[in-house]
Amino acid sequence: MEQMKIGVIGGGASGMMAAIAAAGKGSSVTLIEGGGRVGKKLLSTGNGKCNLGNMKLSPEEYYGASKEWIASCLKQFDTEDTIRFFEDAGLLIKERNGYLYPKAEQAAVVLDTMRIRLDELGVRTITDCKVDAVRKALKGGFDVCAGQECFHFDKVILACGSKAAPKTGSDGSGYKLAKDLGHTIVPVVPALVQLRCRETYLKEVAGVRAEAVIFVPAGGQDGARARIIERGELQLTDYGISGIPVFQLSRQMNYLIKSQRDLSEVEVAINLLPEYTDQDFKAFCDKRKFLRDRRTVEEFFTGILNKKLMLLFIKLAGLKRDIPVSGADEAKLAKVFALCRDWRLHVTGSNSYDNAQVCAGGVDTRQVGCNMESLLVPGLYFAGEILDVDGRCGGYNLQWAWCSGTIAGSSAAAF
């Protein structure tokens, strides 16, 4: 029987998955990787433990493409399919609060499992081969070239990743390959990344971690109507803010900064006492007055939040820490309380692609079918982060790699 010859460009999570799916359907598959080995990024995922999926899967966990488009993709390969795939391949999986990890807690065993499957299915893997051109061939199919070396395939899957963590090989070159074939690239920004802030005083609280709600105020009079809200452990650094809730906000902040002429408008508001309602907090502040008689300002505020943060807020309110609180300016005392629940920081940007876990933006999914085939170039498919799909922290990006990789590989293998 005639075999479909498929070339998969990019040996990351999605490319390996696409190769396995296509080879599993009987195609002759060549996996071409620019770096010295496949799956380099996979090794650094989940702090080396690889958070490979999440039991709570929904299109709401993803940005970029329309929710309908993402939903119809996830329906074809969901979390259950991910678990089944890995367990059938011999990998034990464990769940912690809905997050999926290999039982061995080692990303390396996930990669090994995939490499074993690639071998078993006879996928030809070529490394150190950076593809710089993909062209439609006159005789049909595609010519794929890396310098002087050219290959011919019936179908091609672009799985080159994004620009995030370029040390792992994904340097954005896939976008150019897609663009040269006529595809539109939605502007790309770093995502799941730390944010940088204008306030230089953050150096004083670097290293502090605190549970917080972070939101982007809607601006104008009605600052309470937040645009985005995230909750979790905030980490303060000497240049800005980090931690999971900040990572989750970062893609929107980067797009906001891109669209804003006046950066002084781009701010986040931090509530370090989110467990209180406004009313409860007012009652708390009133009640605390019983501590006023003998204490200094610093002593009066001791015990509410991390010591370094309280001292910073005292300073920002314009108070001296060692004066008796009984003589302190009422408005300034109120300001310290207010800062605990509404601390504004001006965001100037994010850390670079080097620090980003993923990118927002990429190949516009309005030009790609839910079977991952290009609507512009028949026989061309996409998988993984090269597409304009980015997930929240929690295993959603790898789930997207497995899902889109399987769909692309299976569809490409069909005659």
Distances (CA, A) of 58 to 62, 69, 101, 164, 392: 8, 12, 19, 23, 11
Residue 157 is a binding residue for ligand FAD (CB under 6 A): no
Alpha-carbon dihedral sign for residues 398, 399, 402, 403: negative
Contacts for 139 with CB less than 8 Å, ≥ 6 apart:
none
**Residue 14 near ligand FAD by CB under 6 A:** yes
| Residue closer to ligand FAD (CB basis): 11 or 59 | 11
- The answer to whether the Cα torsion of 181, 70, 251, 45 is positive or negative is negative
Stretch near ligand FAD under the rule CB under 6 A, chosen from 19-27, 82-90, 110-118, 159-167: 159-167
Q: Is 401 in the site for ligand FAD (CB under 6 A)?
A: yes
Q: Which is nearer to ligand FAD, 62 or 215 (CB)?
A: 62
Output the residue with the shortest Cβ distance to ligand FAD.
Answer: 12
For ligand FAD, which residue of 169, 190, 240, 409 counts as binding (CB under 6 A)? 169
CB of 156 or CB of 319, closer to ligand FAD: 156
7, 10, 64, 349: which one binds ligand FAD (CB under 6 A): 10
7 binds ligand FAD (CB under 6 A): no
Q: Are the C-beta atoms of residues 51 and 13 closer than 8 Å to each other?
A: no
Contact 350, 188 (CB under 8 A): no
Radius of gyration of the chain (CA): 25
Residue 389 tokens read as 């799909």
Contact flags string 272-311 toward ligand FAD, x per CB under 6 A: ----------------------------------------
CA distances from 46 to 51, 101, 104, 396, 409 (A): 5, 9, 13, 12, 25
Rounded to a whole number of angstroms, the minimum distance from the CB of residue 388 to ligand FAD is 12
Pick out residues in 173-202 that bind ligand FAD (CB under 6 A).
173-174
- 64 touching ligand FAD, by CB under 6 A: no
Q: Among 164, 266, 319, 340, indicate the residue that binds ligand FAD (CB under 6 A).
A: 164
Q: Does 65 sit near ligand FAD (CB under 6 A)?
A: no
Q: Which of 59-67, 147-155, 239-247, 389-397 is the region at the interface with ligand FAD (rule: CB under 6 A)?
A: 389-397
CA pair distance 79, 250, nearest whole angstrom: 25
Specify whether the CB–CB gap between 341 and 281 falls below 8 A.
Answer: yes
In whole angstroms, how far apart are CA 157 and each of 27, 88, 120, 407?
Answer: 13, 24, 20, 11
Show contacts with ligand FAD in window 32-61 (CB under 6 A). 32-35, 40-42, 44-46, 50-51
Residue in 29, 160, 309, 340 binding ligand FAD, rule: CB under 6 A: 160
Main-chain dihedrals φ then ψ at residue 101, nearest 5 degrees: -135, 160
Interface residues with ligand FAD (CB under 6 A) are 9-15, 32-35, 40-42, 44-46, 50-51, 130-131, 159-161, 164-165, 168-170, 173-174, 357-358, 384-385, 395-398, 401
